[in-house]
Structure 1
Amino acid sequence: MQKKSFFMVPYLAWIALFVVAPMALILYQSLFDITGHFTFSNYTSYLESTTYLKMTFNSIWYAFLITFFTLLISYPTAYLLNRLKNKRLWLLLIILPTWINLLLKTYAFIGLFSQNGSVNDFLRFVGAGSHQILFTDFSFIFVASYIEIPFMILPIFNSLDEINPSLINASRDLGASAWQTFKRVIVPLTMPGVKSGFQAVFIPSLSLFMITRLIGGNRVITLGTAIEEHFLVTQNWGMGSTIGVILIIAMFVVMFLTRERKSKGGQSR
């Protein structure tokens, strides 16, 4: 027991230094105004400002859209990968883009979507003309979804991989069609993976700011860009920290709503 407690020390120290302490500092900083005086006015300003409430709605809406399109692509992809012969190799190829720096991928899409980029070159070639793709909601959601897809595919793939084949065979033996088996057996058993993927995509999407600036331009305004603005431009760290606290609360709410629920017998529903 003492040996187990000893190995817990580095883990607890890591959590205290890099999770608890930063959140405590953000909470502490949110209680001071731009002049350094203790106040609750930051929270009052946030709740009373239609601008901040609109930013909050935009952040939730864009995060939902990114998560929805990511799930729409990831579930069929994970299902198909799980049925392939060399599924681990194909999964690795999908995960490989996550090894590339996020900023590099973002700048690559700027080149693709710009007026003289490859996408507009192709559109002009087929006679569709040039279009403003960069700095639009479409480009922002497309790029964000592309970057987040591996984080949705991986947990769903693992859930599919852990399904006991005998359960599917039993469903078929009992007369269920392929669609009924998918709907009543496979989907419920993969819900833990879907929930994990939802957390892995929705929570980071709430606070996007770099992709928002570089791809969405001034058309896409979220809480992430507001935090960047307060810390780097207006130097109002108190207000920026307040928005950070709101995002942390939103993170815990999402984690609570997508948590694993267990019945009294200890079985997952």
Structure 2
Amino acid sequence: MTTKKHWFFSLPYYLWLALFVVAPLVLIFYQSFQGLNGHFTVQNYVNFAESGVYLKMTFNSVWYAFLITVITLIISYPVAYIIAQFKSRDFWLALIIMPTWINLLLKTYAFIGILGENGSINNFLRFIGIGSHQLLFTDASFMLVAAYIELPFMILPIYNSIVAIRPSLINASLDLGASRWQTFRRVILPLTKNGVFAGIQAVFIPSLSLFMITRLIGGNRVITLGTAIEEHFLTTQNWGMGSTIGVVLVVAMLIVMLLTDDSGKGVHR
């Protein structure tokens, strides 16, 4: 009876998984072997491997995703640690979560208004006599906006891993003569490793396939695989090549997940 109940309540999850995860992946993989005429071919993968343009896009995607992840990690760990010490941490955590409720496109256009030629920053620079500068369509502006958008997804898993640490472990370290820095390095940091890895997955993987921010904020300076996928599906109508790039991204994401998988190795309550 228990097994039947388990399957009954699990059925919606497995249906959702099959329809919206497995089926799209199978479709993309199948489509990647289709030529422009609909015939079976491996030429899409050959073109990808032999094209310097696609290899450069792959490098750019990994490099920008790496930089965005590093920036968000450097900011997120101290923020998560400080919030975890507050008595009113639920309030501060809500402030971190609230920006995720706003549509991504709206946030991107808001940054266009801030960084544009007649935006808030340039108006302030002109006011103090420095003069306006080209802030939009640069690598720095792209990474700034992308890091801002991804920041909550790095803070939350790190915060959860910090609050899960038993205070007695920290107190024991201090009582045994360890300094605050030694306690952080030898106790807190190892125990929050799972949260850091989860945050890296949550930021690095989506950052690999960014395309809207690259268009609106980075302009033509920032070209990634996500941009190429958009171009092939919406402009050139070469769905086979677009699917091939999608398969490459999926493989890259799986590699990242394997490299940052630390399940079952952490210390739990």
Task: With the length of structure 1 as denominator, give the TM-score of the two structures.
Answer: 0.97
Deviation string 1:23-63 (CA, Å, 9 cap, x unpaired) is: 00000100011121110000010011111000000000000
Of 191, 194, 210, the residue aligned with 2:193 is: 191
Amino acid at match of 1:197: G
Find out whether 1:22 has 2:24 as its counterpart: yes
Runs of 4+ in 1 over 6 A off after TM superposition: none
Amino acid at match of 1:55: M
Q: Which residue of 2 aligns with 1:31?
A: 33
Displacement of 1:262 in angstroms is 4.6
Deviation string 1:101-140 (CA, Å, 9 cap, x unpaired) is: 0000000000110111001011112222110000000000
Find out whether 1:154 has 2:159 as its counterpart: no
Q: Which residue of 2 aligns with 1:74?
A: 76
Deviation string 1:66-97 (CA, Å, 9 cap, x unpaired) is: 00000010000000100111001110111100
SS at match of 1:224: helix
Find out whether 1:86 has 2:88 as its counterpart: yes
Given that 2:194 and 2:263 are in contact with CA atoms closer than 8 Å, whether structure 1 keeps it comes out as no
**Root mean square deviation, CA, Å:** 1.2
Amino acid at match of 2:92: W
Amino acid at match of 2:29: L
Given that 2:228 and 2:242 are in contact with CA atoms closer than 8 Å, whether structure 1 keeps it comes out as yes
Structure 1: state its 5+ residue gaps: none
Q: Structure 2: how far apart are the matches of 1:147 and 1:22?
A: 26
Bigger drift between 105-114 and 28-37 goes to: 28-37
Q: Which residue of 1 aligns with 2:121?
A: 119
Displacement of 1:261 in angstroms is 5.2
Aligned ranges for residues 35-114 of structure 1 at < 5 Å? Answer: 35-114=37-116
Amino acid at match of 1:89: F
Displacement of 1:255 in angstroms is 0.6
Q: Structure 2: how far apart are the matches of 1:204 and 1:108?
A: 21
Amino acid at match of 2:160: N
Task: With the length of structure 2 as denominator, give the TM-score of the two structures.
Answer: 0.97
Aligned ranges for residues 142-181 of structure 1 at < 5 Å? Answer: 142-181=144-183
Q: Structure 2: how far apart are the matches of 1:46 and 1:228?
A: 16
Amino acid at match of 1:62: Y
SS at match of 2:217: helix
Q: Structure 2: how far apart are the matches of 1:186 and 1:42?
A: 48
Given that 2:191 and 2:267 are in contact with CA atoms closer than 8 Å, whether structure 1 keeps it comes out as no
Deviation string 1:132-189 (CA, Å, 9 cap, x unpaired) is: 0000000000000000000000000000010000000000011000000001100000
Q: Structure 2: how far apart are the matches of 1:267 and 1:146?
A: 30
SS at match of 1:233: helix
Q: Which residue of 2 aligns with 1:133?
A: 135
SS at match of 1:104: helix
Identity %: 69
Amino acid at match of 1:134: L
Amino acid at match of 2:161: S
Aligned residues: 266
Q: Structure 1: how far apart are the matches of 2:22 and 2:121?
A: 45
Displacement of 1:267 in angstroms is 6.6
Q: Structure 2: how far apart are the matches of 1:12 and 1:261?
A: 22
SS at match of 2:218: helix
Q: Which residue of 1 aligns with 2:219?
A: 217
Q: Which residue of 2 aligns with 1:240?
A: 242
Q: Structure 2: how far apart are the matches of 1:204 and 1:226?
A: 15
Q: Structure 2: how far apart are the matches of 1:191 and 1:17?
A: 33
Q: Structure 2: how far apart are the matches of 1:188 and 1:129?
A: 47
